[in-house]
């Protein structure tokens, strides 16, 4: 072993936390006898400033050049001790932590065995640190433009935050208009302000802001590059309407003879083949739906072209691909609603007057298919409604998670139904979850409106056979508070369906190299301490694509993500993780095994020198490549094979 | 004195190591025979590490990674899964009982899973008895480990 290596070992008592289980003096004593150990001490709190100073003094006065701290988990104080080394003029990576608290003292009974294990862990750290070498941290410049994928409330909020600080934003939305799900809602809980009234001013702001480049009817198809310098390819689907010429008069929509179900009205209303999803659409420029337009299907019609005074209709338009250069990406792709058809006993799609929550929103909305009048399929005003919670949520058969917004919007529905019809409202809930500012108060308010709250899960819905004209539905459910089965007869049923990940979330996760959690939502970097960033540096997730949440939480997260993007822009550069892989080009045989394995596409093959190389900015240091390299040519800094093998020797010595 | 096995556990930094830490934070007791070594990803586990552990006198090896689908490096643990399947065959050929090598997914909040894996492998290896080095010595002489 290299004689110039002089290791300092510092065993922490952590008050009584470690010392009551492990004989810390014995551990320090044992370490002292090992090769290359210059000094070994124990101290009551190593993380205190006194403890830190002990290390600093030894580095300065005794020439200690490697440090082992036997204390709590490296996940807690590794950075603190790295700073101690940095401040003492040592490279921070010449440190190794032996975790003798969480993974020793706290999980074992006091005694010899715990002390022996601590000895082994410290011995492993000592052997390992002898093979540590300085690692340099790197930084990359950040291009001051941001891409936002998705133009719902999350994307709109993030775009405005960034654009208002005078930085360029590309807002890409796949539908013909921005607005997302929020534009479909009637009222918002708990304040009952009209959704369109608070959203449309923001949508207008987006269209007016000179720093926002709005691309609707467009999709991100490819992303390459890395934090600070992403190259993005956006597909602008052909609108068949010239955006520069169209004045948004709407005459084409009026004259188009072909109709189809409106996606915006959740399939309850009709739209034309040339359409804007809703009257307040931004941009107010229609698209021609290739799948529905009879000219595209049969080669005849072109009615819209004839009536367009601005001569904006152009059937020759083709999809365009646009390349963008951005420094960071905010993903705000939102959610899909659960399709309750598979729950056959609820009769959705089979029984008339069983609606999903989104359909009910459209029925309540003044811009909806019924002009805001609550009507049954027969045209009669319903005298009663049952609102079913947790359809597809909190259900092991579909989604185990809670969709978070349904309790609150079902309370809103109760209120709206009472307001519009004065009829009876039954709420079938499992638990009422009304956590949020003024949410519980809203619950109390609705309770005061003579709504029947029944705690129980709906078993089935059947059409009434006795009175066919009265389009009644018979609900069978368990009332768990009374402890018996009950039947309820109602005119209308609203299924509060789950919020699910977008059906194509997996595809986007591949394009952006994002992780996804169990439930399919995009995975944040840390569930509590970093719920905005992702493991892909420079890519942030906001709104329901990260998990179900309501509008206030979505807006807060969107603002947080834009603050992070702006922080990167204002700093102008980005520090990268120092733990990355590198290829020993003298050893690499050029077999390319590692190329395909890298989850981040960070390894490329240099055709001229016939070796693989690692892009240091893209690499995250997982060592998947290193473990696979048949020549042992790849090693990951601070987690190299030599270091791990030494640690194995140490813990087993 | 009864046989106390020496077992090395390789834990990924993001889920398993955090899960093992959580066992400590919640003061769940487990057998003291398992020494953890932190890797960034279970997919970064070189098969040589496992063989090295046996060569240095380990009686068992436990490998832990994130649950499938939860890997912080997107799909590193799928590579672990494939490699461990092969590795179990390899150790068998080297004369090591394959029960001495275990793979267990441990999420960051799954302290119980970790504790159970630690206790199970300890008990099972105790029942198997100490690992007596056989072919691996000769193999190891010839290779870089």
CB within 8 Å: B8 and A648: yes
In DSSP terms, B102 is beta-bridged to B62
For an interface test with A, which of B18, B20, B29, B46 has the most A Cβ atoms less than 10 Å from its Cβ?
Answer: B46
Question: For a pLDDT cut of 70, what percent of chain B falls above it?
Answer: 90
Q: Do B44 and A597 touch (CB under 8 A)?
A: no
Chain A residues closer than 8 Å to B39 by CB: 623, 639, 644
Tokens of B52: 């090295």
Query: Which of A103, A112, A629 is the best mutation test for B, with the most CBs of B within 10 A?
Result: A103
Q: What is the pLDDT of residues A614-638, one digit of tens each?
A: 999 889 999 999 999 999 999 999 9
- Going by C-alpha positions, the residue among A540, A544, A543, A547 that lies closest to residue A562 is A540
For B60-64, what is the mean pLDDT?
A: 97
Using one digit for the tens of pLDDT, what is the confidence trace for A369-381? 999 999 998 889 9
Predicted confidence (pLDDT) per residue in B3-20, tens digit: 999 999 999 998 899 999
Chain A CB contacts of B47 below 8 Å: 627
pLDDT band at A360 (very low <50, low <70, confident <90, very high): very high
pLDDT band at A536 (very low <50, low <70, confident <90, very high): confident
In the prediction, which pLDDT does A162 show?
98
A15-72 pLDDT, tens digit each: 999 999 999 999 999 999 998 999 999 999 999 999 999 999 999 999 999 999 999 9
Can you count the helices (H) and strands (E) in chain B?
5, 4
Interface test with A, best of B5, B73, B109, B116 (most A CBs within 10 A): B73
Name which of A107, A622, A626 is nearest B24 (Cβ-Cβ): A107
Q: Measure B87 CA to nearest chain A CA, in Å.
A: 13
Percent of chain A at pLDDT exceeding 70: 99
> A585 CB contacts (<8 Å, ≥6 apart)?
A609, A611, A613, A633
Q: What is the mean pLDDT of chain A?
A: 94
The confidence score (pLDDT) of residue A478 equals 93
- Answer yes or no: is pLDDT of A93 > 70: yes
For an interface test with B, the pick among A622, A644, A645, A646 (most B C-beta atoms closer than 10 Å) comes out as A622
CA-based nearest residue in chain A for residue B80: A624
Burial A543-578 (b: 16+ CB within 10 A, else e): bbbbbbbbbebbbebbbbbbbbbbebbeeeebebeb
Chain B: closest CA distance from residue A330 (Å): 19
More confident call, A568 vs A465 = A568
CB A463 within 8 A of CB A473: yes
| Residue in chain A nearest B68 by alpha carbon | A518
pLDDT score at B110: 86
Q: What is the per-residue pLDDT for A468? A: 56
- Answer yes or no: is pLDDT of A335 > 60: yes
* pLDDT value of residue B69: 80
State the residue for tokens 């609150």.
Answer: A408
pLDDT-derived band at A298, boundaries 50, 70, 90: very high
**The pLDDT value given to residue A295:** 95
Q: What is the pLDDT of residue A469?
A: 55
pLDDT at A535: 79
Band (pLDDT 50/70/90 cuts) for residue A591 is very high
Whether A652 sits inside 8 A of B69 (CB atoms) is no
pLDDT band at B132 (very low <50, low <70, confident <90, very high): confident
What is the per-residue pLDDT for A184?
Answer: 96
- Residue B136 has what pLDDT? 55
Binary contact (A648, B56; C-beta < 8 A): yes
Q: Where are the alpha helices (DSSP H) in B10-75?
A: 16-25, 47-55
- The residue whose two tokens read 């394009």 is A511
Label residue A574 by pLDDT band (50, 70, 90).
confident
| Candidates A621, A627, A645; nearest CB to B52 | A645
Q: Which pLDDT score, from 0 to 100, does residue A470 have?
A: 63
Q: Which of A466-480, A564-578, A611-625 has the lowest mean pLDDT?
A: A466-480
Cβ atoms of A133 and A66 closer than 8 Å: no
How long, in residues, is chain A?
653
Backbone angle region of A229, left / alpha / beta, with phi > 0 → left and psi within -120 to 50 → alpha:
beta
User: Do A452 and A425 form a contact (C-beta atoms < 8 A)?
Assistant: yes
Residue contact A644–B49, C-beta within 8 A: yes
Model confidence band, residue B1 (pLDDT cutoffs 50, 70, 90): low
Provide the shortest C-alpha distance from residue A524 to chain B (in Å).
10
- Nearby residues of A259 by Cβ (< 8 Å), 6 or more positions away: A270, A271, A272, A273
The reply to whether residue A517 touches residue B70, judged by beta carbons under 8 angstroms, is yes
Q: Is pTM beyond 0.80 here?
A: no
As given in the structure block, the two tokens for residue B57 are 């006198």
User: What does the pLDDT read at residue A459?
Assistant: 95
Give the rounded percent of residues in chain A with a pLDDT score beyond 90: 89
């Amino acid at each position: 072993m290299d004689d110039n290596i002089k290791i300092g070992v510092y065993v922490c008592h952590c008050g009584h936390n470690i010392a009551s289980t492990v004989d810390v003096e014995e551990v320090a004593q044992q370490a002292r006898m090992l090769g290359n150990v210059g000094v070994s001490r124990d101290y009551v709190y190593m993380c205190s400033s006194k403890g830190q100073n002990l290390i600093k003094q030894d580095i300065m006065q005794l020439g200690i050049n490697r440090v082992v701290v036997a204390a709590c988990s490296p996940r807690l104080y590794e950075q603190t001790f790295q700073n101690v080394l940095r401040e003492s003029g040592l490279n921070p990576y010449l440190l190794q932590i032996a975790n003798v608290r969480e993974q020793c003292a706290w999980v074992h009974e006091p005694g010899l065995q715990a002390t022996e294990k601590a000895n082994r862990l410290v011995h492993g750290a000592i052997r390992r640190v002898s093979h540590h070498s300085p690692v340099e941290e790197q930084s990359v410049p950040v291009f001051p433009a941001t891409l936002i994928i998705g133009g719902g409330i999350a994307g709109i909020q993030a775009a405005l935050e960034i654009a208002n600080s005078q930085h360029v934003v590309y807002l890409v939305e796949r539908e013909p208009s921005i607005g997302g799900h929020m534009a479909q809602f009637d009222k918002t809980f708990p304040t009952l302000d009209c959704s369109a009234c608070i959203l449309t001013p923001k949508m207008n702001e987006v269209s007016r802001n000179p720093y926002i480049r709005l691309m609707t009817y467009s999709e991100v198809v490819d992303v390459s590059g890395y934090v600070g310098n992403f190259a993005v390819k956006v597909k602008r689907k052909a609108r068949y309407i010239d955006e520069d010429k169209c004045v948004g008069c709407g005459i084409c929509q009026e004259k188009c003879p072909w109709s189809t179900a409106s996606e915006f009205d959740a399939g309850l209303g009709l739209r034309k083949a040339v359409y804007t999803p809703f009257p307040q659409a931004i941009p107010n420029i229609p698209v021609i739906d290739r799948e529905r337009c009879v000219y595209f299907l049969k080669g005849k019609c072109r009615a819209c072209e004839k009536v367009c005074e601005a001569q904006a209709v152009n059937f020759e338009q083709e999809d365009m691909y646009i390349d963008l250069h951005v420094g960071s990406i905010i993903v705000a792709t939102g959610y899909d609603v659960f399709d309750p058809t598979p729950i056959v006993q609820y009769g959705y799609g089979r029984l008339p007057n069983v609606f999903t929550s989104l359909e009910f929103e459209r029925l309540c909305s003044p811009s909806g298919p019924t002009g805001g009048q609550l009507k049954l399929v027969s045209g009669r005003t319903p005298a009663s409604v049952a609102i079913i919670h947790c359809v597809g949520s909190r259900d092991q058969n579909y989604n185990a998670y809670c969709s978070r917004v349904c309790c609150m919007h079902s309370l809103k529905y109760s209120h709206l139904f009472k307001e519009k019809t004065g009829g009876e409202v039954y709420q079938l809930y499992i638990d009422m979850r009304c956590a949020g500012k003024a949410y519980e108060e809203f619950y109390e308010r609705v309770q005061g409106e003579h709504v029947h709250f029944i705690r129980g899960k709906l078993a089935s819905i059947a059409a009434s056979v006795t009175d066919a004209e009265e389009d009644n539905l018979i609900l069978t459910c368990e009332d768990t508070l009374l402890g018996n089965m009950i039947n309820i007869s109602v005119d209308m049923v609203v299924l509060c369906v789950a919020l699910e990940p977008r059906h194509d979330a997996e595809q986007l996760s591949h394009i952006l190299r994002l992780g996804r959690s169990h439930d399919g939502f995009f995975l944040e970097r840390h569930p509590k301490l970093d719920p905005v960033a992702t493991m892909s540096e420079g890519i942030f997730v906001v709104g329901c694509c990260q998990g179900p949440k309501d509008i206030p939480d979505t807006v807060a997260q969107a603002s947080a993500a834009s603050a992070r993007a702006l922080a990167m822009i204002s700093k102008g550069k980005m520090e990268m993780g120092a733990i990355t892989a590198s290829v020993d080009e003298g050893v690499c045989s050029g077999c390319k095994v590692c190329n395909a394995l890298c989850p981040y596409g960070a390894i490329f093959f240099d055709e001229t020198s016939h070796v693989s190389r690692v892009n240091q900015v893209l690499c995250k240091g997982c060592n998947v490549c290193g473990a696979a390299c048949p020549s042992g040519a790849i090693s990951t800094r601070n987690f190299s094979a030599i270091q791990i093998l030494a640690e194995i020797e140490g813990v087993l010595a | 004195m009864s046989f106390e096995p020496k077992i090395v556990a390789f834990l990924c930094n993001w889920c398993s190591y955090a899960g093992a830490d959580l066992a400590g934070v919640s003061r769940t007791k487990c057998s003291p025979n398992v020494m953890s070594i932190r890797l960034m990803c279970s997919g970064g586990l070189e098969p040589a590490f496992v063989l090295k552990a046996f060569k240095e006198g380990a009686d068992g090896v436990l490998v832990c990674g994130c649950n499938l689908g939860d890997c912080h490096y997107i799909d590193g643990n799928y590579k672990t899964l494939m490699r461990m399947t092969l590795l179990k065959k390899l150790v068998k050929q080297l004369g090591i009982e394959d029960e001495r090598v275990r793979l267990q997914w441990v999420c960051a909040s799954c302290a119980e899973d970790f504790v159970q894996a630690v206790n199970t492998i300890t008990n099972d290896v105790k029942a198997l008895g100490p690992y007596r080095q056989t072919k691996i010595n000769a193999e190891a002489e010839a290779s870089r480990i």
